[in-house]
């Protein structure tokens, strides 16, 4: 039985004060939630505030990106050790905005995922095709390659510290959600790919999140699908009410 996960990716939104306000509203609202894991990824500058505000709750805190090196002359970068040092337990790697706007490659995603695990944290590895790739009939090929390269440095036992997130680029921040059927089909591709590389047991336990314009009114239909184990939520994770409504998908 895979425990569902509802994760929020705040992208470049919220100051420390705004983060404090958000947690003040969300923490009491999710105190009874035990049927899913809750993760929030604020920007680096709000990590400490978020960690303090979430302390004692079931909300885990993630970073949105990381460098794979321990330390060094990498201006602007943050290392896994720095993240675990502040108490961060999760890191998102390979988000499509990092791939498209900041030159992230499948190779660097693989390095980052391995570095996150080596530091004792868990990684959310994002994959997903663009609209042009989907229209060219290449969605499956692209997602498989991103996944294989993203996990390339990991062993079967490492996979228990990984969550995969299928985020079709054409559905991120566009208001356009993949239908539950399209999402489920691609989640099936991800699970089969992991099964071929790491075996059926590892694939069966892998949690796979859907991301792309998830909102309170579409989460239930997505969560109904067999291979969808949760959601990675962008815009709707910025408002405590909307995020809580998504967390309450089963109620
Ligand atoms: C995301 O940033 O991972 C995302 C899915 O964004 P949105 O929910 O806003 O489409």
Distance 144 CA to ligand 1 centre (A): 21
Distance CA 22, CA 45 (A): 15
CB-ligand 1 contact for 235 (6 Å cutoff): yes
CA 72 to ligand 1 center in whole angstroms: 31
Known catalytic membership, residue 167 = yes
247 vs 251: CA distance, rounded Å: 9
Spatial separation of the C-alpha atoms in residues 38 and 23, rounded to whole Å: 12
Nearest ligand 1 atom to the CA of 211 is: 5
Q: The dihedral of CA 188, 191, 197, 203: what is its sign?
A: negative
Q: Going by CA atoms, what residue is nearest to atom 3 of ligand 1?
A: 234
CB of 219 closer than 6 angstroms to any ligand 1 atom: no
Query: How many residues in total does the chain contain?
Result: 251
**Residue 55: how many other CB atoms lie within 10 Å:** 12
Report pTM.
Answer: 0.97
Per-residue pLDDT of the chain (251 residues; tens, 9 = 90+): 899 999 999 999 999 999 999 999 999 999 999 999 999 999 999 999 999 999 999 999 999 999 999 999 999 999 999 999 999 999 999 999 999 999 999 999 999 999 999 999 999 999 999 999 999 999 999 999 999 999 999 999 999 999 999 999 999 988 888 899 999 999 999 999 999 999 999 999 999 999 999 999 999 999 999 999 999 999 999 999 999 999 999 76
Token representation of residue 92:
């998102």
Containing H/E element for 110?
Answer: helix 106-118
Ligand 1 atom with the smallest distance to the CA of 233 is 8
Q: Is 95 a catalytic residue?
A: yes
Q: Are 234 and 211 in contact, with CB atoms under 8 Å apart? A: yes
Q: Report the alpha-carbon distance of residue 56 to residue 63 in Å, rounded.
A: 19
């Amino acid at each position: 039985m895979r425990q569902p996960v509802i994760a929020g990716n705040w992208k470049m939104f919220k100051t420390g004060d705004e983060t404090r306000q958000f947690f003040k509203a969300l923490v009491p609202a999710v105190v009874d939630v035990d049927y899913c894991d809750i993760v929030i990824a604020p920007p680096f500058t709000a990590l400490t505030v978020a960690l303090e505000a979430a302390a004692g709750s079931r909300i885990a805190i993630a970073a949105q990106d990381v460098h794979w090196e321990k330390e060094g002359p990498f201006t602007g970068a943050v290392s896994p050790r720095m993240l675990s040092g502040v108490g961060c337990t999760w890191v998102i790697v390979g988000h499509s905005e990092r791939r498209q706007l900041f030159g992230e490659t499948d190779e660097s995603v693989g390095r980052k995922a391995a570095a996150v695990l080596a530091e004792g944290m868990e990684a959310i590895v994002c994959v997903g095709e663009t609209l042009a790739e989907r229209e060219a009939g290449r969605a499956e090929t692209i997602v498989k390659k991103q996944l294989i390269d993203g996990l390339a440095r990991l062993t079967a036992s490492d996979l228990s510290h990984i969550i995969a997130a299928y985020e079709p680029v054409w559905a991120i921040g566009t208001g356009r959600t993949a239908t539950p059927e399209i999402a489920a089909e691609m989640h099936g591709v991800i699970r089969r790919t992991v099964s071929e590389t790491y075996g059926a047991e590892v694939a069966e336990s892998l949690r796979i999140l859907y991301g792309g314009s998830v909102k309170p009114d579409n989460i239930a239909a997505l969560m109904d699908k067999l291979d969808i184990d949760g959601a990675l939520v962008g815009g709707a994770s910025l408002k405590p009410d909307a995020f809580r409504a998504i967390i309450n998908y089963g109620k």
